Amino acid sequence: MTIQWFPGHMTRAKRQIQEKLKLIDIAIELLDARVPLSSRNPMVDEILQQKPKLVVLNKSDLADPAVTKEWVAYFADRGIDALPMDATTGFGVKEIPERAKVVLKEKIDRQISKGLNPRAIRALIVGIPNVGKSTLINRMAGRNIAATGDKPGVTKGQQWIKTGGGIELLDTPGILWPKFEDQMVGYRLAMIGSIKDQLLGLEDVAYQAVRYMLKEYGNELKERYDLESVPAYSDELEANDVVDVMEQIGRRRGCLQSGGGVNLEKAAMVILRDLRGGKLGRISLERPEAGTGST
């Protein structure tokens, strides 16, 4: 199945970014550290053309630190500087101006050689909805200047914001791409809340999350919900085995309906809420060897 949409405000955002490119020194591409490739819009390189770029892996506090190291190495192998960060707590945020200066070293050196005082770096922050752009801007600016929220589509326009780190930031609305050829990209984005649950179905999203966790984080699943056991993962894992785990979780969390059966929709809500909130531990939902997308 191919998932398709392209809301009008996202079309406008793409055009607005392209109109501002000549004013931009560097793009700060914000990705979710739990799903770096799935949260990387393949249209960004086309939109940014050849602009220098710094990749920031936000929400790294929610991601598996060992897997995040793999992602940093993955991007480094492709000549891209990637910085793990958590905009909410401020971890890694102060490194952004210095990393940007390193990326722009040749340009800054040219300005100095001409006797010019390098002006503030003008940076474009770009990323998909709900990846933390506004939270990062507020953290760098030292004040609440950009609207934030836990739902896609909070940022509606563009604005220049000065920070104390020698960078001027241009915020942009999140841009999703017109369609997902790989349905798992859509599921991963729904798992972290970057697209609406209803688009793929709450129970289906939770099912895919549980299936993945049985493969990579079975013990975390077992401990969080005090399950007696979880099935060992294999490529032949039956759908019924995954649903059985969801039903066990539903019973543990009181997600029952009349007659004593488990309300799977409520159980799915519990699972996704816990996953997004870090209650299951630090979990990465894709690894470099299994990732999809382009760089």
* Burial environment of residue 134 by CB neighbours within 10 A (0 to 12, 13 to 18, 19 or more): buried
- The answer to whether residues 186 and 200 touch, using CB atoms and an 8 Å cutoff, is yes
Amino acid 209 reads A
Structural fold of domain 3-179: Rossmann fold (3.40.50)
Q: What is the pLDDT of residue 126?
A: 86
Question: Distance between CA atoms of 273 and 280, rounded to whole angstroms?
Answer: 10
Instruction: Could you list the beta-strand ranges (E) of the chain.
Output: 3-4, 26-32, 53-58, 82-84, 121-126, 159-162, 167-171, 179-180
User: Which pLDDT score, from 0 to 100, does residue 162 have?
Assistant: 84
pLDDT of res. 116: 86
Helices within the chain (DSSP H only): 8-20, 44-48, 65-77, 95-103, 105-113, 133-141, 183-191, 197-200, 202-216, 218-224, 239-252, 264-276
Give the position of tokens 């506090």: 61
Q: Are 258 and 274 in contact (CB under 8 A)?
A: no
Question: Of how many residues is the chain composed?
Answer: 295
Q: Does residue 273 sit in helix, strand or coil?
A: helix
Supply angle C-alpha 189, 194, 195, rounded to 5: 85
**DSSP β-bridge partners for residue 126:** 29
Q: Parse the chain into domains and list their residue ranges.
A: 3-179, 201-290
Per-position pLDDT tens, the chain of length 295: 455 545 555 666 677 777 778 888 999 999 999 999 999 988 888 888 888 999 999 999 999 999 999 999 999 999 899 999 999 999 999 999 999 999 999 989 998 998 888 888 999 888 887 888 889 988 998 877 654 444 443 344 456 788 877 899 887 666 666 567 788 998 999 999 888 877 889 999 999 999 999 999 999 999 999 999 899 888 888 999 999 999 999 999 999 998 889 999 999 999 999 999 999 999 999 999 754 444 4
Q: How many CA atoms lie within 13 A of 249 on its CB side?
A: 28
Q: What type of residue is 58?
A: N
Residue 48, amino acid:
L
Closest CA to 36 of 76, 5, 2: 76
Give just the sign of the alpha carbon dihedral 13, 16, 20, 22: positive
CATH for 201-290 is 1.10.1580.10
